[in-house]
Copies of this chain bind each other. A is one copy, B any other.
């Protein structure tokens, strides 16, 4: 290939999102309300604006991207599809490695794809303020960015350990005009309850979600809504622009068949964004391996039961059918902060069960090693989350070498690691180690979901 990078013009950017719900051989189990019955749109309306609730429940295959959202996306999209020629050389693999570079967005990750869409729909619905949670800060900064562009107020509950360890993400949010507080905080009942019981807790995404939802539903004017950066159907939907652009770019360079599609998965949105258009190919009979990658310290997809569970810590969300470690899960403090959610997107959990995708769990030292090889060969420093996708890609490239096959491997370069260099520094100084969730921890956390129905 003469070109290492494939661009699209703005006019070539997809104008619709792809909704996997339309093509599933079997629909996923619905979210359940406190009464054990499927939730109705009305039940969600205290939390989300109705236009997004409709999208959450939509089953149309293609959903138009509003013109104004396209204009917002044009600020950094279409993103380049790049070939990792030098990584291929370093590995001596016959495989071709492509990556979709989502790190070029102003917030440095794929997260703004849904942030600008959600902020726009909220604004259309008359919302003035959006609350949310964030782990490592990528989602919080993306929402702060989006709200800043649309003139909305943003309030971000940031998992305390990240708030303390990653002050730069907080500064990013503040620069965009958002308010960022450590979670658990004293500002909500949910936060106060946790602090009373565990004053020194590092926090968790589950707790932060509870706080953000509580603030939204407590606004008597109804002008405050909550926004989630992953997990839900409409979030995954907004991310499908990644995979749709990629397909156009592969077509442009006449690359007809992709053999392996890889993305890291915390809540699942960057993986889904790249993979869902390829999952459709698989449903239609294509031979493609699709691999979501998670950390061994938070093995939702590979070891957790498929069960109904709350999306948050305090039980304010509907019950979702998903692979879950239990909503009380407090993740060990590894550095891939964005991959520490206790659950997995219901849609991804469902297609795991259908055998359409094949999850993989990796240890962090292998991932950091892969990230540094990538940085040295391809020049871009990956986010610790993204390093999981890279490590899996390297495994596949080595396998292709052993098999002597010229495979085409595609992964989502979901974000850069410029705000996560402390992790690299620790790795380079030998201060990191591997950690796999223990069986007894898994048992402890999943005990409390036994009370909920089985999907």
Contact = CB atoms under 8 A, between A and B. Distances in A.
Interface of A: 3-5, 7, 9-11, 71, 74-76, 82, 86, 104, 106, 108, 145, 148-149, 167-168, 171-172, 174-177, 372, 375-381, 416, 418-419, 421-422, 424-425, 428
A83 to B, nearest CB: 10
Contacts of A86: 149
Nearest to A105: B379
In the complex, the 6 A-B pairs of residues with the closest C-beta atoms, listed nearest first: A171-B421, A106-B379, A106-B380, A171-B425, A148-B376, A168-B421
Contacts of A82: 75
A108 B4 contact: no
B75 A428 contact: no
Given A10-B5, A86-B149, A381 B175 contact: yes
A418 B421 contact: no
A207 to B, nearest CB: 25
Contact of A424 (B171, B375, B424): B171
A11 B379 CA distance: 21
B106 A104 contact: no
Contacts of A167: 425
B419 A376 contact: no
A370 to B, nearest CB: 13
Nearest to A82: B75
Nearest to A427: B175
Nearest to A423: B171
Contacts of A174: 424-425, 428
21 contacts: A4-B71, A4-B74, A5-B74, A75-B82, A75-B379, A106-B379, A106-B381, A106-B416, A168-B168, A168-B422, A171-B424, A171-B425, A172-B381, A172-B418, A175-B372, A175-B375, A175-B381, A176-B376, A176-B379, A176-B381, A418-B418
A424 B379 contact: no
A365 to B, nearest CB: 15
A284 B168 CA distance: 47
Nearest to A424: B175
Contacts of A422: 168, 171
Nearest to A107: B379
Contacts of A372: 175
B177 A376 contact: yes
